[in-house]
Amino acid sequence: MSNLIKNAVGRLVPTEINGEKAIPFQGVGKYRPEGRKAAPPIRTSADYPADGDKIVADMKTALKNAGLRDGMTISTHHHLRNGDQVANAVFAAAAELGVKDLRWFPSASFPVHEPQIELLESGVIHHIEGSMNGPLGNYCSTGKMRGMAVLRSHGGRYQAVQDGEVHIDIAVIAAPTADPFGNATGDRGPTACGLLGFALADSEYADHVIAVTDNLVPFPCIPWQIQGNNVDQVVVMDSIGDASKIVSGTTQITKSPDRLLIAELTARFCDEAGIVRDGFSFQAGAGGTALSFAIFLRDMMRERNIKARFVRGGSNQYLVDMLEEGLTDYILDGQTFDLEGVRSMRENPGHQNTSPFTSYNWHGKGNFASMLDVVVLGATEVDVNFNANVVTHSDGRLLHGIGGWMNCLASKCTILPIPAFRDRIPVLVDEVTTLCGPGELIDVIVTERGITINPLRQDLLAKVQGSSLPIVDIHDLKAEIEGICGGAPAKPDLGEKVVAAIKWVDGTVIDCVREVKV
Amino acid sequence: MSNLIKNAVGRLVPTEINGEKAIPFQGVGKYRPEGRKAAPPIRTSADYPADGDKIVADMKTALKNAGLRDGMTISTHHHLRNGDQVANAVFAAAAELGVKDLRWFPSASFPVHEPQIELLESGVIHHIEGSMNGPLGNYCSTGKMRGMAVLRSHGGRYQAVQDGEVHIDIAVIAAPTADPFGNATGDRGPTACGLLGFALADSEYADHVIAVTDNLVPFPCIPWQIQGNNVDQVVVMDSIGDASKIVSGTTQITKSPDRLLIAELTARFCDEAGIVRDGFSFQAGAGGTALSFAIFLRDMMRERNIKARFVRGGSNQYLVDMLEEGLTDYILDGQTFDLEGVRSMRENPGHQNTSPFTSYNWHGKGNFASMLDVVVLGATEVDVNFNANVVTHSDGRLLHGIGGWMNCLASKCTILPIPAFRDRIPVLVDEVTTLCGPGELIDVIVTERGITINPLRQDLLAKVQGSSLPIVDIHDLKAEIEGICGGAPAKPDLGEKVVAAIKWVDGTVIDCVREVKV
């Protein structure tokens, strides 16, 4: 058992994770990285086919050629979200090859990856480092995984690979279209998913890179979102997945009157605070409330003839409509959330794909996230100090990934539009179960029972003073909610064992997750 | 004076260059690199403006902020060719700041950079590492430069930076359009030059990166050929140069009957050898003969309804015509040679910009050059063993850069269409003055007096046997030419001093250049 130490936000966090030293969170912008970026081995073209044909027979052959052995780190990506069939194929092949104790380093895992539980049990996979949505998160929560999970934001994953904190031995990249040289794109082909940005760090820094496609085209595959010059081998599969499942349930607009009210209040707040003006920028998450907010905003922009300079996606049909209607110059897209997003990215030069490097990497020369005028994000819990949780439920279970959430907190105005309670359990609490976002970065919380503004943002308070918005104090709001729900929520029943570490955008440990008692 | 050693092609080359160990050429594909790529320092966004505005007052301020000091390596790029005004501005500012002994590491220098001779004389610049076209080459040739020049191919320059062989302290990138974050593109703006690929390595690996623009746009500058996430500072100048001068004299079709014949013979050879077929690929250099070859090829393709999969540029109006006419699926462009190329790159998704990384880097996982069915290149001299020279004239003067020439030799068929003599001096010689390309990589030489095929390519000889092409033995051809010119050319009058080293695509030294006696 690792020692625990109290970090700058008062959380007890492990000083060692899976045998490696971990640095406790030191405060926003406080930790200064040292040293140089990770440096992959120098290769020579003498070792690669002159005709550019890197195709090998199958996944097993590719893994063998890559020198797969016990204890290696294998990465995969969630561009196909719950439609992905590549990660399962990789570990099935690894199991057949008889290797053990692999570290799986996905950009995120989804319910479709539930079969990996068997391989975690049989010893093929030692542990998962990456967001776990659903069954794998639940498995981890109950303390069954041998190693400690490590959850990072999209930007944090790039940072960890770039900084050499995570060394990837073999990266396997699902490619909806690729050529024999390994150039690959996600914006076309039968399994088109949009972009492949989550695999960028892996393609740049992994020792060995395998591209897997079900749509092989003659060289050159254009565009090349992943560059064949970074790819060692190409595997052709019958199908890499089901692109229709990139659309998750949360990309539908909410029908709940409460949620619609929250969305509307959020849009009105942006207006009253002077954020909605010509040339502004915004980013809204994938949830139904965030989507509805975007619709309210769009209507406002149409009415007043206001044009955004750029909007950030997760793109979807609504953002695409805005682009095509001329309500924004650009979509800067990190991940397409529906097939309209994929189409637009393929067709429209104003629909620009981005990566965790451009958008989110804290250990870069700046990134896009801090330039956003406003971002609208979700949360599972928020506390009276505006600290927020995005990974665990009120029962302590680890069921969600971080995504770009932590990175987006760097924006000029961060708003969390959230329901006051879920299943009669208040979302506003004294202390969040897991602290993923420090309160100093969270500016506004919008509920159906009022809007509360972080006292650190006196500028925002001043701007909406005298407006018709229902501005309330966070303590008053919390009391009101507890009145309705019959008190504060019960503390989750947690054990001592740390099952997951939560890393901040700079690689330090901001919190950890304890096992739930079952 | 450095020791000299005989390398694998029998050339005496220095074992030390400017105080650093140098590796003699070991044969094509023989040298195996070791170790890991260069690793730039890890940065933190905490040190960069959150609003993304990296603009500073002027070049001098930028250089000061970058910590400019004696002995540093400063890089610039030749995207604007003879129209560039940025490199001169950089070193003028450096001179004003009083620094000495800088290493200038341009991707190439042009006659417009002649003012740097004064700074070489005054001690601001110690020496130049990079192709020198014209006056600077002449200056170097006469032994006046304090350090030894190092000439590399475009791919070799990327390799040297990637491998850490050349560490760039400060890269200054001329950007025809840029935003305050440093995202930059060359395909638009009043000084549009096409692409900025030669600066890619610098943007990725230099300690400090300055983008210089005369066309500032609000974030985001799209496309971003250079990513702002790699840029430290942005400088705005009134003008970065004169885009009309990216068109050099050599981008005009030849009017010489001899050269036209050479071009036609080259096209006919490609035809008879079975190279011109559906889905093929070719690359032709920027010279008038190469351009004329492309026209003959185009007519042939039109006539027979043959479509190329891709052509490589140096793009120009003729390649653009072919793309727009549907004679090729793609132009894979490394450098635009005229303004039609710039327009096409901006407008046509089939006109894809590439970089020395994708096209030429030998120390990668393969590159595009070896996939070409045929490349057509120039040379100043060729010897009876098919070795070729591309940097020095018959008088020994270093007047040309290597460009992508060395890298292109990796193609499936390399053809040198050259006149049999220039100014009555035979181009075919017993031994080239400077060996830039080993004969084993040069397959065919086409002159107005016959085509000679490398005996190593029995396959090509067999294919054209019985054709009407004037195939001749290289010794017979040489004898005929000497008969016309009145004998073999005189050996240039050279001193002992080594003024420049010529590096092969793998970083080893293939030859060196001696001072000319004046």
Closest chain A residue to the Cα of B370, Cα to Cα = A50
pLDDT band at A179 (very low <50, low <70, confident <90, very high): very high
B198 and B265 together in one domain: no
User: Are A296 and A381 found together in one domain?
Assistant: yes
End position of a domain, from candidates A210, A242, A274: A242
Mutation site, B44, B210, B225, interface A, largest A CB count within 10 A: B44
Query: Is residue A479 included in any domain, yes or no?
Result: no
pLDDT, one tens digit per residue, over A252-290 is 777 899 999 999 999 999 999 999 999 999 999 878 888
pLDDT at A122 over 70: yes
Do A415 and A275 belong together in one domain?
A: yes
The CA-atom distances, in angstroms, between B232 and each of A111, B44, B52, B182, B235 are 42, 11, 10, 8, 10
Cα B168–B169–B170 angle (5° rounding)? 95
Residue B298 above 70 pLDDT? Answer: yes
The answer to whether residue B2 scores a pLDDT higher than 60 is: no
Number of domains in chain B: 2
Q: Residue A448 pLDDT more than 60?
A: yes
Query: What per-residue confidence (pLDDT) applies to B313?
Result: 84
Whether B512 is in a domain gets the answer no
Mutate to test the interface with B, among A34, A42, A370 (most CBs of B within 10 A): A42
Q: Kindly state whether residue A384 falls inside one of the protein's structural domains.
A: yes
Which residue in B has a C-alpha nearest to residue A372's C-alpha?
B51
What integer is the mean pLDDT of A343-371? 97
Distance of residue A259 Cα from the nearest chain B Cα, in angstroms: 32
Q: Would residue A402 count as lying in a domain?
A: no
pLDDT beyond 90 at A67? yes
Evaluate whether A180 touches A339 at the Cβ level (below 8 Å). no
Tell me the per-residue pLDDT of A11-49, one tens digit each, with 9 for 90 and over: 999 999 999 999 999 999 999 999 999 999 999 999 999
The complex scores an ipTM of: 0.96
Q: What's the rounded Cα separation, in Å, for the pair A136 and A115?
A: 9
Q: Are B93 and B60 in contact (CB under 8 A)?
A: yes
Tell me: do A200 and A109 sit in the same domain.
Answer: yes
- Residue B153, pLDDT > 80, answer yes
Mean pLDDT over A358-382 rounds to: 97
Task: Give the range of the structural domain holding residue B103, as residue numbers without chain letter.
Answer: 52-243
Measured CA to CA, the distance from residue B333 to residue B353 in angstroms comes to 5
Query: What local confidence, expressed as pLDDT, does residue A246 receive?
Result: 80
The pLDDT of residue A248: 62
User: Between chains, do B363 and A43 touch, taking CB under 8 Å as contact?
Assistant: yes
Judged by CB atoms closer than 8 Å, whether chains meet at B350 and A222 is answered as yes
Residues A292, A206: one domain? no
Contact B44 A32 (CB under 8 A): yes
> If you measure CA to CA, which chain B residue comes closest to A28?
B46
Whether residues A227 and A284 share a domain: the answer is no
Interface test with B, best of A26, A32, A44 (most B CBs within 10 A): A44
- The mean pLDDT value for B266-283 works out to 98
One-letter identity of residue B457: R
Residue from B69, B421, B113, B65 nearest B241 by CA: B113
Using a CB-CB cut-off of 8 Å, the residues of chain B touching A410 are 45, 50
CA of A497, closest CA in chain B: separation in Å? 33
Which phi-psi region, left, alpha or beta, contains residue B511 (left: φ > 0; alpha: ψ -120 to 50)?
beta
Give the pLDDT score at B251: 63
Minimum distance, in Å, between the CA of residue B252 and any CA atom of chain A: 29
Question: Is B367 a member of any domain?
Answer: yes
Contact A181 B51 (CB under 8 A): no
The pLDDT score that the predictor gives to residue B299 is 96
What are the angstrom distances between the C-alpha of B426 and each of B212, B446, B476? 45, 14, 13
- Whether residues B371 and A52 touch (CB distance < 8 A) is answered with yes
Average pLDDT, integer, range B431-456: 98
Q: What's the confidence (pLDDT) of residue B246?
A: 80
pLDDT confidence of residue A247: 77
Does some domain include residue A194?
yes
- What mean pLDDT is reported for chain A? 96
* Cβ contacts of B43 on chain A, cutoff 8 Å: 33, 363-365
Question: Are B412 and B312 within 8 A, CB to CB?
Answer: no
Compute the Cα dihedral for A204, A209, A212, A217 and give only its sign.
Answer: positive
> What CA–CA distances, in Å, run from B499 to A207, A388, B25, B432?
39, 65, 18, 17
Nearest by CB to B371, from A219, A332, A362: name it. A219
Q: How far apart are CA B462 and CA B517, in angstroms?
A: 46
Q: What does the pLDDT look like over A407-437, one tens digit per residue?
A: 999 999 999 999 999 999 999 999 999 999 9
- The 10s digit of each residue's pLDDT in A318-350 is 999 999 999 999 999 999 989 999 999 999 999
**At residue A251, does pLDDT exceed 80?**
no
Nearest CB to B229 within list A36, A46, A367: A367
> What pLDDT shows up at residue A285?
81
- Contact across the interface for B45 and A181, Cβ inside 8 Å: no
Q: Which residues of B touch A218 (CB under 8 A)?
A: 279, 309
Q: How far is A330 from chain B (nearest CA, A)?
A: 8
Mean pLDDT of A187-204: 97
Judge residue B148's burial from the number of C-beta atoms within 10 Å of its C-beta, 0-12 exposed, 13-18 middle, 19 or more buried: buried
Q: Are residues B332 and B222 in the same domain?
A: no
CATH number at A304 reads 3.40.1080.10
Residue A198 near residue A77, CB atoms below 8 Å: yes
Q: Can you tell me the mean pLDDT for B41-66?
A: 98
3-state secondary structure B453-509: ECCCCHHHHHHHCCCCCCECCHHHHHHHHHHHHCCCCCCCCEEEEEEEEEECCCCCE
Q: Is residue A249's pLDDT more than 70?
A: no
Q: What is the predicted pLDDT for the residue at B264? A: 97
Residues B405 and B482 in one domain: yes
pLDDT(A130) > 90: yes
User: Does position B410 have pLDDT exceeding 60, yes or no?
Assistant: yes
Best residue in B37, B45, B55 for a mutation probing chain A (most A CBs within 10 Å): B45
Q: Are residues B171 and B273 in the same domain?
A: no
- Do A130 and A166 have their domain in common? yes
Q: Does B54 contact A352 at a Cβ distance shorter than 8 Å? A: no
Whether residues B342 and B462 share a domain: the answer is yes
pTM for the whole thing? 0.97
Kindly state the DSSP code that residue A43 receives in the 8-state scheme.
P
Average pLDDT over residues B87-113: 97
Q: Which of A39, A181, A232 sits opposite B36 (nearest CB)?
A: A39
Please answer yes or no on whether A49 and B366 come within 8 Å at the CB atom. yes
Let me know if residue A124 belongs to a domain. yes
Name the band, by pLDDT with cuts 50, 70 and 90, for residue B250. Answer: low
In a domain, B273, yes or no: yes
Per-residue pLDDT, averaged over A203-220, amounts to 98
- Chain B residues near residue A220 by CB distance under 8 angstroms: 309-310, 330, 332, 352, 368
State the pLDDT at residue B248.
62
Reference B99, options B123, B76, B120, B65; nearest CA is B123
Task: Give the residue-averaged pLDDT of A388-396.
Answer: 94
Tens of pLDDT, residues B464-492:
999 999 999 999 999 999 999 999 999 99
Among B219, B243, B267, which residue terminates a domain?
A: B243
Over 60: is that where the pLDDT of A1 sits?
A: no
- A322, amino acid identity: M
Domain check: are B448 and B363 in the same one? yes
CB contact under 8 Å between A45 and B363, yes or no, is yes
Closest chain B residue to A51, measured at CA: B371
- Indicate the residue among B243, B276, B311 that finishes a domain: B243
Task: Give the C-alpha separation, B127 to B147, whole Å.
Answer: 5
